[in-house]
Amino acid sequence: MLKIDDLHATVADKPILKGLTLALNPGEIHAIMGPNGAGKSTLAYTLGGRPGYEVTGGTATLDGADLLDMEPHERAAAGLFLGFQYPVEIPGVSNLQFLRESLNSQKRARGEKELNGGEFIRLAKEKAALLGLDMEMLKRPVNVGFSGGEKKRAEMVQMGILDPKLAILDETDSGLDIDALKVVGAGINAIMRKSDKAVLLITHYQRLLDYVKPDFVHVLAGGRIVKSGGAELALELEREGYAEVVAA
């Protein structure tokens, strides 16, 4: 589904990704772990197409389509969802308005029928209930006044409504207490653990992986994948630290 080959990227002319290669098949959940500054967030933003993240070499395709050649909104329409470590606040735009415009933009781009107001509200209610988010929250401006946990829950509701093929979740576990972590983990499983979907979890800690069990774990260091393994690798990292595992 996602194929990244020898990806190089710079931020403000500084090389961050230095030949990263990774492949995800449908039905798989991969976790990328790594020390601070390894390039974890850069990988997420580069795949999402954030301005300022410049690809200087390599390829990335989503179901065979060249991801790097698409505008950010086209990547979303192609099935990519990027979960933000720090979800952005948008005063004056309600979550419902934001999500309906987003979903219908995607549907227009794919030549599908747009949802009308009633259909959209039903979908939003269903997904909000799944994540235990009060519908009233969705009437409020995007992320404005939300706690850290509420922002991440709202992101998962967005993911549920937009129903992507591939989710890249950047430090979705940061700022969550244990209860919120459980809810978010259950949400990821309910929405994304399907034979035709895949997830790339980017995380610093192993604790989210207690709730979302990865099929593969990769260690990112110095802009490249330096080690790959199964779920047990995350536990090893937690126990021994990155330096030990990377050196071994």
Q: Is 163 exposed, middle or buried (0-12, 13-18, 19+ CB in 10 A)?
A: middle
- State yes or no: residue 77 binds another protein (CB under 8 A): yes
Distance between CA atoms of 220 and 38, rounded to whole angstroms?
Answer: 6
Taking the complex as a whole, the smallest distance from the CB of residue 88 to another protein amounts, in Å, to 4
Distance between CA atoms of 153 and 108, rounded to whole angstroms?
Answer: 27
Taking the complex as a whole, the smallest distance from the CB of residue 74 to another protein amounts, in Å, to 9
- State yes or no: residue 49 binds another protein (CB under 8 A): yes
- State yes or no: residue 136 binds another protein (CB under 8 A): no
From residue 98 to residue 117, the character string flagging contacts with another protein as x (rule: CB under 8 A) and all else as - is xx-xxx-xx-xx--------
Question: Which positions ≥6 away from 132 have C-beta within 8 Å?
Answer: 153, 183
Taking the complex as a whole, the smallest distance from the CB of residue 230 to another protein amounts, in Å, to 30
Taking the complex as a whole, the smallest distance from the CB of residue 47 to another protein amounts, in Å, to 10
In this structure, are residues 17 and 43 in contact, taking their beta carbons and an 8 Å threshold? yes
Which residues of this chain interact with another protein, rule CB under 8 A? 48-51, 71-73, 75-77, 81-82, 84, 87-93, 97-99, 101-103, 105-106, 108-109, 142, 158, 162
